[in-house]
Structure 1
């Protein structure tokens, strides 16, 4: 199947190719990856009341060789539909995956992965197989704008261009979190016919947002002890660690963008101007300092570790605090 371009993913999700039995969903926006994987799961269930869903990750592959092939080749026990969702990790073997997908599998397969290079063996496999597809997930302004328009239109709420732009600046790069913020805004504006800047200021982002921002800057500054204390405060206030981890991924992505620009051109200014939402002037010096201290190479190496921790936290909520703390210590040790 031809590789799906980022601009065509929404169209693919509305009407997937009937012959498609395996989909790779990948990209730096973990919230969008998870959201689209959930959409595909519903599609593959074909309306089954309780489709059998099997979730696998590196722990499962370590416990049993060939686990993926077994799950893909066996019929469901308690339903007429079966979907296998895999969190891609180091133990996901491209050769085993290729053999398992030589023919369309009995069970539908969805693999969730972080950002993959064009020469990634798994990505190339899904782009070439006739019964598979690879869907890139990148946080783009047009995707966020479409999300705002769709949700507000469904709620019969109007918004002018300047207020819409302001809302986009206040929302993060994680689409799942952005949707949650928009839902909160719609609930707050119930009974009105138009969204205004005051509505956005009232509910989009709160003290938890500031606390999460404090956490990510503590991590990038190398203060692991302070970062772990902040994690505990966030958990005590009801903010899940996976929210903080997703924010950390966005923060390190921005740091890397600026560090890479400075490395290639000698100036970080042009990259800083492109960041949305803009870095607050009170944080600007710390941001530039952390970007230079880490450097483009170390930041690039840190991003996959953050993405892996986000995925683990999503898949095992009871252990998300432990995954977050382990990541903070691992980044400090680098």
Structure 2
């Protein structure tokens, strides 16, 4: 049976204990590993691996010994409780052995959890799980977590409540962090709020969010938007040393200035314009962007977007010979000078 995209997170958090198996596949190994970890923990509990109720079989080993999976699902454990046989990094070459095990599976046997990379619709392994009445197939996409998923993760991490702005902050954060980093951030927030009954706030999310090159890229764009010319050069040098590309900076700057232009052009004023942005802007950054939109005005922001569009075309041109990061630095300095003009 194929799980719909909206069902995957819920099912991996609470798999059917009477199902024969679960296939988790996708292009991002970290996201697949996160869902696999969730599903296995839900099936055997936190002590399951220590009690030897989890058996791991590498896909390559199953290819050499197809009977290993059948033996593992039928084996009786020393400790009572549900058991799982995990087949990692499987492919179509293991489909026949897995099909035999699924056909032989009976209630009381270990549940079969299989992980794989990206599988095409014609994949034998994918078709096997999608067509089996007592098995599930879960495709893991690179989409950021939705609000329902974030709220479930908050409960799992031990956070009892969060304000609407905090949820907006976490939603935005989930779009920039890898799943493992995002989960660790939630756990850090839970520890921070351990003895504090007040709902989680957007400010607390901002203070405990991990620093990243994204934050420094935002910093140099903010410096240009606020005409702080002296900060642009050092920030550009640091970003170049970290491997951030000029094209990435150009895209981020275009996104920021387009948001400011939409806010400044709103008939009800920049404040209402910022409130209508999607994804929503939260906390102190929201106030900062409103101030920027008011200071620039729609006319100068339109001129800034033209400068950025010209730079983007030049960066992507096959005939470009000038150092690209220097070009991006000059563009940001032009923007800062444009903002400083009266």
Pairwise TM-score range, normalised by the shorter structure: 0.5 to 0.7
From 197, 200, 207, the counterpart of 1:202: 207
* TM-score for the superposition, normalised by structure 1: 0.53
Q: Does 2:151 align with 1:149?
A: yes
Higher relative contact order (CA 8 A, sep 6+): 1
The residue number in structure 2 matching 1:121 is 124
Q: CA deviation at 1:192?
A: 6.6
Summarize the Cα distance change of 1:92–1:10 in structure 2 as closer, same or farther, 3 Å threshold. Answer: same
**1:84 to 1:92, Cα distance in 2 relative to 1, 3 A:** farther
Residue 61 to residue 11, structure 1, CA distance change in 2 (3 Å): closer
Write the distance in 1 (CA, Å) between the matches of 2:189 and 2:99.
45
Determine helix, strand or coil for the equivalent of 1:25.
Answer: strand
Q: Which runs of 4+ in 1 moved over 6 A?
A: 46-49, 211-214, 274-277, 284-293
Q: Which runs of 5+ in 1 are unaligned?
A: 215-228, 231-250, 252-273, 278-283, 294-334
Equivalence for 1:110: 113
Aligned counterparts, 1:224-235, within 5 A: none
Report the Cα offset of residue 203 of structure 1: 1.8
After superposition, the C-alpha distances for 1:127-160 in whole angstroms (9 at most, x for unaligned) are: 111221112223445x442243345565234323
Per the TM alignment, residue 70 of structure 1 is displaced from its structure 2 partner at its CA by: 4.4
CA contact (8 A) 1:144 1:175 kept: no
Question: Could you give the per-residue CA deviations for residues 211-244 of structure 1, whole angstroms, max 9, x where no partner exists?
Answer: 9999xxxxxxxxxxxxxx98xxxxxxxxxxxxxx
User: Residue 134 of structure 1: SS of its match in structure 2?
Assistant: strand
Asked whether the 8 Å contact 1:29–1:174 carries over to 2, the reply is no
- Correspondence for 2:332: none
Where does 1:69-218 land on structure 2 (aligned, <5 Å)? 69-80=69-80, 81-89=82-90, 92-104=93-105, 106-141=109-144, 143-152=145-154, 154-161=158-165, 163-171=166-174, 172=176, 174-189=178-193, 191=196, 193-206=198-211, 209-210=212-213
> 2:9 touches 2:149 (CA, 8 Å); kept in 1?
no
Task: Provide the C-alpha distance between the structure 2 equivalents of 1:11 and 1:4, rounded to a whole number of angstroms.
Answer: 10
Query: 1:76, 1:82 within 8 Å by CA — same for their partners in 2?
Result: no
> What value does the CA root-mean-square deviation take over the aligned residues?
4.5
Shift, 1:126, TM fit: 0.4
Larger Rg: 2
For 1:41, the equivalent position in structure 2 comes to 40
Where 1:4 maps in the other structure, the secondary structure is coil
CA drift at 1:111: 0.6
User: Aligned to 1:23, what secondary structure does the other structure show?
Assistant: strand
Q: Does 1:66 align with 2:66?
A: yes
Q: Which residue does 1:20 correspond to in 2? A: 19
Aligned to 1:238: none
Taking a change above 3 Å as real, the CA distance of residues 155 and 19 of structure 1, as seen in their structure-2 partners, is closer
> How many Å apart are 1:85 and its aligned residue?
0.7
Instruction: State how far apart, in whole Å, the 2-side matches of 1:44 and 1:97 are.
Output: 19
What's 2:55 paired with?
54
- Cα distance in 2 for partners of 1:170, 1:285 equals 30
- Give the gaps of 5 or more residues in structure 2: 218-240, 243-247, 249-277, 282-308, 319-342
2:25–2:139 contact (8 Å) kept in structure 1? yes
Report the 3-state secondary structure (helix = DSSP H, G, I; strand = E; otherwise coil) of the residue aligned with 1:155: coil
Q: Tell me by how many angstroms 1:110 deviates.
A: 0.5
Per-residue CA shift, 1:234-263, capped at 9, x if unaligned?
A: xxxxxxxxxxxxxxxxx9xxxxxxxxxxxx
How many pairs align?
230
Instruction: Find the aligned partners of 1:26 and 1:128 in 2 and give their Cα distance.
Output: 16
8 Å contact kept, 2:69–2:85: no
Structure 1 residues 99, 26: closer, same or farther in 2, change over 3 A? same
Give deviations 1:102-142, integer Å, cap 9, x for gaps.
2216332101122322222111100111221112223445x
Structure 2 CA distance for partners of 1:25 and 1:286, relative to 1, 3 Å: farther
